[in-house]
Every structure is written in structure tokens, then in C-alpha cells.
Structure 1
């Protein structure tokens, strides 16, 4: 009995002691966190999490700063004759001293035989030159009469097609930079199919390193010629007859080009015509099925010649360059393939080695 009383008294003492300790701990002030943790907590309070950005491939025109005007010695640079050195007659003209390539003078004939196909031609078709874009040496400003051209001739089943399946314009015909641009640039991806605009015959298939790159010139029944520049490769040969809408080449960025696009020209007797007089590119169609050629179409020559003369004094201060902004996943080999240049050229222009890590956002000079 005495032992039981002793144990009960001991248990009561222990419980009482525990309650007093608990009460004291509740009355103590809270422990202070170390200064370092307090500051860290304050930083976390004001820290804003960076948003996740979804990067998309921007338009080529944003990535590239360029000036793709041709060298004066290139086919493109020699394709305009402001002041013809010699006027050609379509009858019995001696061309041995003109050095116009594989040229033939056809005496007033309604048809000429090309690649086993009889092609009807007009007087301005008399010169057949497979090397030079403009062998005619005629100034469009001297045209005296209005010439009516059939772009579409339903009776003869001759139709028109656009040169590409989509036609977003990246550069217009006219003054650009410090020279005149004699065509319309249309955006495309490498390898896109390029089509013949009208029925005709391939007159030129050639490479022009200082200008058009791989290019084609097609002579058409209606008297016009069309030029397709910067192709990755042609699909047709000189003298081959083609129908409108027929695939004639693959899009690219060869020659004096800073990104994939089609340089498209429309010419009459060697004189460039603004393609937007003929086409409504945004709506992907011809403006009319007939077209009238007058000397007024070539009045831009007066302005273009002034720009050409004024540019001579500034030529030493102008450099044609193309740049690519590095994106995630880019490698030198991929960039070289994209723009049709060698890896060695990119490394040389940017003074880098094959082991260099490309930093995002860096501008690499391509040409």
C-alpha cells in the first residue's frame, strides 16, 4: 500500500513538471530565423518567374540584311542597254563582230524549227541567242506604236500560269538601295517548283555567279520573254518547248542572292517591264488577258540611268553582304546548306573554326 502511494505521488509530480514546461515554452518569444534565410525569403517574395517564350522561325526578310545587286560584269549587270552601240536589222545582218554567243539571224520567217518543233515567231524573234539576255539592243523608249500582246489566247489554247504556287513579294521593281531593280522578287523555300508563265521555248539556261545564279530565259509566243533567277537547278534544256504551268526549275538562292527567292522578270525585246503591270501577285492572277506595250512603260530608264551614274561615285563605299541570325539548333553545315554556300566560306568570313559554339542571336555573315 505504501509502495502504491509512493508511485502515485511520483507520477503526479512528473505530470505537474511537464505541464509547467509546456506553459513556459508557449510564453517564449518565437525564435528568430538566421539573417541569411530572412534575406533569402525576401528575395523569393519579389522574384518573378520568367515567362516561357515560344520561338518560331521568323520571315527570311527579318533574318537577312542584304544588298543583292549584281556585279557590273555579270549577265544581270550587262542585261540592260541604255544606249545601244549598234542597231541590228533582222535581215541579212552580219553579227560576226558582235560576240553575242550562239546567235542565229532568221530572215523574215513565220516559223523557225527548234528542237524538232516549229515555233511561230514575230520580227523581234529574229535574233536567237543562247548566251545573252539582251542581244536585241533596242531601247524601249523609242517604240512608236502601241503593241497589243495576248497573254491568254483561248482560240489557240495558250494560257497563263503564275511562276509559283504562292507569290508573296519581298522586293518590287524599281529603285532599291543604290541601283535599279529590274524584276520582282517572290518569296519561296529551297526546292519549291518554279513554273513557266506562258507557252514558249527555253532560250537560255546558264549560271551567273555575280548576279542571277542559275537562271532561265523563256521566249514566248506572245512576244514576251520571262526570266527566272537564283534557281537551285533548272529542269529544262535550251531549245526545249514548254507549256504554261510546266515545271522548269527548282527554287534556290544561287548567285548574288542572300536568301531563297525567285527573281522574276518580264521583258519585251530585252527591255524589262514591271511585272506588277501584268500581275496581281497578292491575288495570284493576271490583271487582264491582254496587255498593251507603249514607250511610256520604259520611261523609268531616265531615272534608272541617273541612279546608275550617281552610284559610280559611291561604289567604293558600298559592300554587298548577307547575314543570318543564329537560332536554337543551328549548325554551320545547316546554315551553309540553307544559303547554298560552303562551310569554309562562313568560317572564313566570321573568323571561326569548326569547333566554335554558335551563340544564339549572333549574326553570321554569309556573303
Structure 2
């Protein structure tokens, strides 16, 4: 047996240490090979798209009634950006991206532009009746560790999606006791946590990986905040009877691009499960729109469009923006051409 000289012995020891360390690192890499990072949100400036609020019930300021009556003046654009007249509150166009860790490097696997709005339930400007393609939605995927959870521990239905009391009910009502835990239905990011005294009460909207959004209304306490990443089954609020509610229950909605769908097409509530791992969305899913709008028109007798007055607005400027005359605005609103416009007031334009 020969003996190494001191310098060679030192080098040999370093080599052994390096070999062991490399092996340990390699094992760590294999563990994290498919580790998924929380979605990244990069904010960019929005364009000057103007939202016109359509109301079938002009005297009701509830978010529930306003949530499907939005129409853009022009198409959304992320190329032409002019923010000189923009005041849409907390609305942004954002770039959403998902990344996966491969060999110690985060690789982008999906990227798309979307509207991120923390105030309006439906800012997406999609007319569901014009949907041409079939959209395949993967509701949950255990292989990707994306699961689902029922919104409550028990799900007895007290009211269904459909016509109710002269207007349309856009969700499923589920019985609960005040203080009961409400869970996120799928993985996603909280988009809205808001109070709506004339409708939803305390409510939350969550945007999910699978392209859907879920809404949870009438909570006694909304806990999760906008921007929070939540996993399916995570606590987001407590049950209650706030807003326009006759008793404790959860008003639960499922939406695609802002358009409500009947939750019972996806869920078997009595058996406490989803009907399948995937769901196909076509324009037929939203056929109720024609019935709901005709029902609303019959009860209200008319349909009007409103503009919410912003700082710097003038009657002549508003008239020019919407292609109407100043005299038409004064006649519709019972004001004179010299009336001072109050910021935040809704001005009827048609």
C-alpha cells in the first residue's frame, strides 16, 4: 500500500467531497424536477376601452344586476395604448405566465394576456352567444396536483340557477349556518373581495387555472384578499346572510369569461362531487341569455345605457364620446346644459 504525498492527499479528499456533494444535488434536482411555480402576474398599461353599463333595473345598484351587462366602445388592444382619459379604477391588462422548474432552471410553459380587475365581476367583454368554438375545460388534474373541493362541507340546494321573481338567478344557493367554512373550489388567485349591499353582500371571486371563475356570495366574513393564491379546499370566507338575502346560505356561481353557467351542469351537489374531470363549453351553455334578457325586458319595460361621470367630464365631451347630442342628454336626465356634473353620478346616455 503506497502513501500519497500531502498535496495529492488533499486533492483526493477534495475530489471525494465534490463527488458526494454532486450526488446529493442530483437527488435534489430529481425531487424538484416538476415543481410548479405560483403564476406570475406582470402588470402593463391598459388601453382606453370604455365600459358602458347596461341596466334592466336602473334603480338597483347591485353588482349582481350589473355583472353581465357590459359592452365595449371598441375592441381591447394591448398595442395601442393611450391612457390620457383612462380611469377604470383597479383594472389592468396583465400578462399571466406559468413556469416549471427543469434542471434548476424555471422554464415558461404558458403565457397569455388577460384583464385583471378587482372591482367588476365581468370586465371581459365576451358575448357568450357569439362563442364559435368548443372550449374544453380540465376541471381538475390529480397528476398535476390540481384538485377540486366542494365549496361547503355539505351542499343541500335551496334555490337553482334560472328565472326567479321576475329576474334571473345566476347561481346555485346552498344551505349553511352562519359562520360555516367556505372553501375555494379549485386552485387559483383571488380577484375580487368586495361588499355589495344590494345583492351579493360580502363576496369573493376567484380566477382559476382551468379558465373558470367562481363567485361566493352573502358571506358573513370574506377572508381571502385580491392577489392571494389559494389551493382547492383552502378557507376563503365564512357563511352568512349579508346583502340581499332572506337567510343564511351560500350563493355560488361558476363563470367563463365573465358569463355565468349553471353550476349543476358541472356538479352533482346531492352526491357531493363533480360530474367529471372535464367539461365542454359551447354557445349552447349560455342559451339562457335570450330568456333572461327577454324576461328582464318584460318586467322593466325598457333598457337603458348609463355613463358614470368622471373628473373632467363635460356634457359636450360625453355626448361626443357616445355619438349623441347634448340636448338628448339633458332631456334623458332632466337637467339643463349648465348643470354641474357630479363625479360618480350615473348619467343616462340612451
TM-score by length of 2: 0.63
- Considering fraction of residues, name the structure with more strand: 2
The structure number with the bigger radius of gyration is 1
Task: Tell me, in whole angstroms, the C-alpha distance in 1 between the residues paired with 2:58 and 2:176.
Answer: 20
Q: Report the equivalent of 1:295.
A: 283
1:201-234 deviations in Å (ceiling 9; x for gaps): 0000010001100000000001000000000001
Q: Report the equivalent of 1:21.
A: none
Q: Report the equivalent of 1:110.
A: 97
Q: Report the equivalent of 2:293.
A: 305
Cα deviation for residue 110 of structure 1 reads 3.0
Check conservation: 1:86, 1:137, Cα contact below 8 A.
no
Corresponding residue to 2:200 among 212, 233, 236: 212
Matches within 5 A, 1:49-128: 72-81=60-69, 84-89=72-77, 91-92=79-80, 99-107=87-95, 110-111=97-98, 123=112, 126-128=114-116
The farther-off stretch of 134-143 and 192-201 is 134-143
Cα deviation for residue 98 of structure 1 reads 6.4
SS at match of 1:266: strand
Matches within 5 A, 1:1-367: 72-81=60-69, 84-89=72-77, 91-92=79-80, 99-107=87-95, 110-111=97-98, 123=112, 126-313=114-301
1:283-338 deviations in Å (ceiling 9; x for gaps): 01000110111111111101111011011149xxxxxxxxxxxxxxxxxxxxxxxx
Q: Which runs of 4+ in 1 moved over 2 A?
A: 69-72, 81-101, 109-112, 118-123
Cα deviation for residue 142 of structure 1 reads 1.2
Task: Tell me, in whole angstroms, the C-alpha distance in 1 between the residues paired with 2:151 and 2:246.
Answer: 20
Extract unaligned runs of 5+ from structure 2.
1-56, 100-106, 303-350
SS at match of 2:65: coil
Task: Tell me, in whole angstroms, the C-alpha distance in 2 between the residues paired with 1:147 and 1:290.
Answer: 10
Q: Report the equivalent of 1:62.
A: none
Aligned in 2, Cα 1:230/1:85: closer, same or farther, shift over 3 Å?
farther
Task: Tell me, in whole angstroms, the C-alpha distance in 2 between the residues paired with 1:70 and 1:153.
Answer: 43
Cα deviation for residue 72 of structure 1 reads 3.2
Task: Tell me, in whole angstroms, the C-alpha distance in 2 between the residues paired with 1:176 and 1:194.
Answer: 25
Check conservation: 1:93, 1:105, Cα contact below 8 A.
no
Task: Tell me, in whole angstroms, the C-alpha distance in 2 between the residues paired with 1:97 and 1:121.
Answer: 32
SS at match of 1:76: helix
Cα deviation for residue 106 of structure 1 reads 2.4
The farther-off stretch of 233-242 and 191-200 is 233-242
Task: Tell me, in whole angstroms, the C-alpha distance in 2 between the residues paired with 1:130 and 1:122.
Answer: 21
Check conservation: 2:70, 2:123, Cα contact below 8 A.
no
Task: Tell me, in whole angstroms, the C-alpha distance in 2 between the residues paired with 1:283 and 1:183.
Answer: 18
Extract unaligned runs of 5+ from structure 1.
1-68, 113-117, 315-367
CA-atom RMSD in angstroms: 2.6
Aligned in 2, Cα 1:155/1:251: closer, same or farther, shift over 3 Å?
same
Aligned in 2, Cα 1:71/1:256: closer, same or farther, shift over 3 Å?
farther
Task: Tell me, in whole angstroms, the C-alpha distance in 1 between the residues paired with 2:84 and 2:127.
Answer: 22
Check conservation: 1:251, 1:260, Cα contact below 8 A.
yes
TM-score by length of 1: 0.61
Aligned in 2, Cα 1:250/1:94: closer, same or farther, shift over 3 Å?
farther
How many pairs are equivalent?
239
Check conservation: 2:94, 2:115, Cα contact below 8 A.
yes
Check conservation: 1:84, 1:137, Cα contact below 8 A.
yes
Task: Tell me, in whole angstroms, the C-alpha distance in 2 between the residues paired with 1:199 and 1:175.
Answer: 30
